[in-house]
Amino acid sequence: MLSYRHAFHAGNHADVLKHFLLVELLSYLNLKDKPYWYIDSHAGAGAYSLTEGYATKNAEFETGIARLWRRSDLPPVLNRYMDVVRSFNVDGQLRHYPGSPLVAQLCMRADDRLRLFELHPSDSELLLDNVEDFRKQVVVQVGDGFAGLKSVLPPAPRRALTLIDPPFEDKRDYRRVIDALEDSLRRFAPGTYAVWYPCLQRHESNELPEQLKHLPAKSWLRVELHVQTPSREGFGMHGSGMFILNPPYTLHDTLQGVLPYLVKHLGVDDGARFVLEQQAA
């Protein structure tokens, strides 16, 4: 929806989970010399200020990235993600947070390419500005990312990671995710597809992971980070998840070592927990 601005939520617990996983997925792709594409269906503005503008309204980053910023006991694998965030805050003060496109670009090699979609007119302008330094690597398309996936799949190098990350403010997004993935898998079955989703007390949110399990992928991994007990009123996001089709075979073990740490340090109450399950190829 055109009313949605990710800047309100930049650096929150959902971003921590999403971008930590994004770094891990790209690091795995980097193990082979052959180039790949990173495709982002809902790219947002690309980078966000944490000291002014939308991010300061609810200051969601204070219960997300800020809780990890000064810690000296981070699991080594989590440090790879934190190094990306640190590169945007070279003076050691947490003032900026990278969106998915800039997280990805910092992990990618010179021959890898980004294909980014953003529908919101203001965010698409900001995105174009934020990718200016690496424009040779990136193509930005202003438009509907669900529809845009058809124009980039299959990718030219036959290797790709696709992030599907809609706001889910419109409940039709849940159905559109499934439709987009069914079509994408027909076009490019070997690709890795990562879907972010909110954990809410609504039917569509609860059903989405089960629907994703039935897509025709050889393997999948589901991970959720719940930071608090769902509210009695039934409102609000109490956690978030990532569902990954064709994930790296090493990712499940990596998450087993990191998720207890994230629950401990990002959890708000005794309802904090994680979900981790997979179907191996």
Express each pLDDT in 146-199 by its tens digit. Answer: 999 999 999 999 999 999 999 998 899 999 999 999 999 999 999 999 999 999
What's this model's pTM, rounded to 2 decimal places?
Answer: 0.96
Q: Say what the pLDDT of residue 5 is.
A: 64
Q: What is the pLDDT of residues 33-48, one digit of tens each?
A: 999 999 999 999 999 9
Reference 103, options 6, 170, 3, 200; nearest CA is: 6
Active site annotation includes 165? yes
From the centroid of its chain, how far is CA 26? 12
**Could you give all domains of the chain from N- to C-terminal order, each with its CATH number?**
6-279 (3.40.50.150)
Q: Say what the pLDDT of residue 216 is.
A: 96
DSSP strand pairing (96-98 vs 160-164): unpaired
| Regions of the chain with pLDDT less than 70 | 1-5
Phi-psi region of 157 (alpha: psi -120 to 50; beta: other; left: phi over 0): alpha
Name the residue with tokens 């690091």. Answer: 27
Reference 220, options 232, 231, 211, 229; nearest CA is: 211
Q: Which two tokens stand for residue 83?
A: 């190094």
Say how far apart CA 265 and CA 76 lie, in whole Å.
16
Q: Say what the pLDDT of residue 56 is.
A: 82
Query: Which of 15, 112, 165, 173 is labelled catalytic?
Result: 165
* 36 close to 112: Cβ distance less than 8 angstroms: yes
Q: Say what the pLDDT of residue 65 is.
A: 98
Reference 264, options 94, 97, 68, 85; nearest CA is: 68
